[in-house]
Structure 1
C-alpha cells in the first residue's frame, strides 16, 4: 500500500489530534511522556505510531494487545486507524486510568479497554488470545518475543517499534525465536519527517507452541532473557 492509503481520514485525524491533546493535558498531573511540545509530539508519538500501520494491517483479524502502552502510543492511534478490538496493558495504575479516560473522551471505549498488571499474568489469564501484539521502545527483542509468544494465536504477529535496529540484537532474537515458537518476518528501517529520527519496525510471527513453558515468573524475561 502507498503512504496515501495509510493516511488518516478527516475523522481519524481529529481523533488522533484529540488524543494528543488529552495526553499533553493529563501529563500535567500524571507522568506519561517527556515530549509535550505539540510539533515534536506529533512526529515522535503520532507519526511514529502510525509508521507501523503497514505491518499491523497484514496481521490476522482478531484482538490486539499493546504491551506497556504508557500514554497510549501506538495502541490508541492504531485502534483509531484499524477499528480493532484493542487492549492497552500497563503495570502502572495511574497510566491505565488515564488510558480509560482517553478512550471514553475519544468515544472509542467500545473497542478499547485496559489491563492494569504484568504481561506475564495476562498471559496466564488470556493465553493464545491475540492475533496482534505491539511493543514500542519497551525492551529487548529477546524479552519481547518471550512475553508475546504465550499471548499470541498461531499465525499472530508481534510488531516491535525500536528506536534503532542493532544487527546483533536482531540476530540473537532470530536465533532464539524458534525455541519460543516464533519466526522472523521482516525488519524495516526509516526516518521520521523531522529528517533526523531513525526508527525500525521489526516483525515476528507465532508458528507453534514454544518448546518451554511460558510465561516464566514475572520479571524474568527482562532480568534473565534467553
Structure 2
C-alpha cells in the first residue's frame, strides 16, 4: 500500500474510533483536528526507526485504540498484532479492522504481554510502545518477543536522564542495546516526542518473561 492510500485508510480508521469513542472510552482525544496530530502524525513519527528493522511481524504493545499500531501497519505493510489486555477495546478495534477490510493483515491479541511472550516467543521483528511504561520495563517485556536483530521503538512524551540511565543499566542483561534517540516536534508546535530504539542483540541473562506485572512493580537491577 502506498503512503497516500495508507493515510486515507488511517483517517477512515480514525473516524471509526472517534465514533466508537462516543459510546466507549477508547481515547481522551475527541477533537478530529487534535486526533489527526496526536494519533496519526504521532504514530508515523516512529517510521524511520521501524523501517530500519528487519522484515517480519510487527507488534504494538499496549495498543489501546490501535495507535500507533494501525497507522504503522498500513504505512509499512507488515503483518501486525495489536496487543492489549482490555478486551472491550480490542473488540471495537477488531470491528473497525473488519469494516476496513484489513483484518487479515492486522489482528489483535487480547491478553497480557507476558502471556504473548510465552505463547509466541521470538516471533516479532519490530515492536512499538507508546505511553506504556518506563524504558527498563519495556526492555524486559520486549526482549522475549523479539527475534535477534529485532527492534523495540519507544515513543516518549518526556524522557528523563534517570529513566534512560535505568534502562542503560539493564539493557545488556536483557540482550538489548540502545541504537538511537531522536527528538521530534509535532506540527502543533508544542507536542514533543522522543523516539528511543533498542536492538535485540543476544539472549537475556534473566529468565523471561517473569510473572505478570513484575516488570513494572519490581524492576530489574543490574547484576553485580
Structure 2 length-normalised TM: 0.96
Q: For residue 182 of structure 2, what is the aligned residue in structure 1?
A: 188
The alignment covers a number of residue pairs equal to 219
Q: Which residue of 2 aligns with 1:4?
A: none
Query: Does residue 1:218 correspond to 2:212, yes or no?
Result: yes
Structure 2 partner of 1:52: 46
Q: Which runs of 5+ in 1 are unaligned?
A: 1-6
2:28 aligns with one of 31, 34, 47? 34
Tell me the SS of whatever aligns to 1:173: helix
Aligned mates of 1:61, 1:72 — CA distance in 2: 21
Q: Residue 136 in 1 paired to residue 144 in 2?
A: no
| Corresponding position: 1:18 with 2:12 | yes
Q: Is residue 112 of structure 2 the alignment partner of residue 114 of structure 1?
A: no
Report the aligned-residue RMSD. Answer: 1.0
TM-score, with normalisation over the residues of structure 1?
0.95
- Counterpart of 1:8 (choices 3, 9, 22) is 3
The question of whether the paired residues in 2 share the 8 Å contact of 1:61 and 1:131 is answered with yes
Stretches of 4+ aligned residues off by more than 6 angstroms: none
SS at match of 2:39: helix
Tell me, yes or no, if structure 1 residue 161 matches structure 2 residue 155: yes
Whether 1:97 and 2:91 are equivalent positions in the alignment is yes
1:165·1:189 contact (CA, 8 Å) conserved in 2? no
Looking at structure 2, the residues matched to 8 and 96 of structure 1 have their Cα atoms a distance apart, in angstroms, of 25
Distance 2:91 2:162 in 1: 37
SS at match of 1:89: strand
Q: Deviation of residue 165 (structure 1)?
A: 2.2
Specify every segment of 5 or more residues in structure 2 that has no aligned partner in the other structure, as ranges: none
Write the distance in 1 (CA, Å) between the matches of 2:100 and 2:194.
29
The within-5 A match list for 1:70-85 is: 70-85=64-79
Task: Name the structure 1 match of 2:117.
Answer: 123
Q: d(CA) in 1 for partners of 2:38 and 2:175?
A: 32
Of residues 45, 58, 65, the one that matches 1:64 is 58
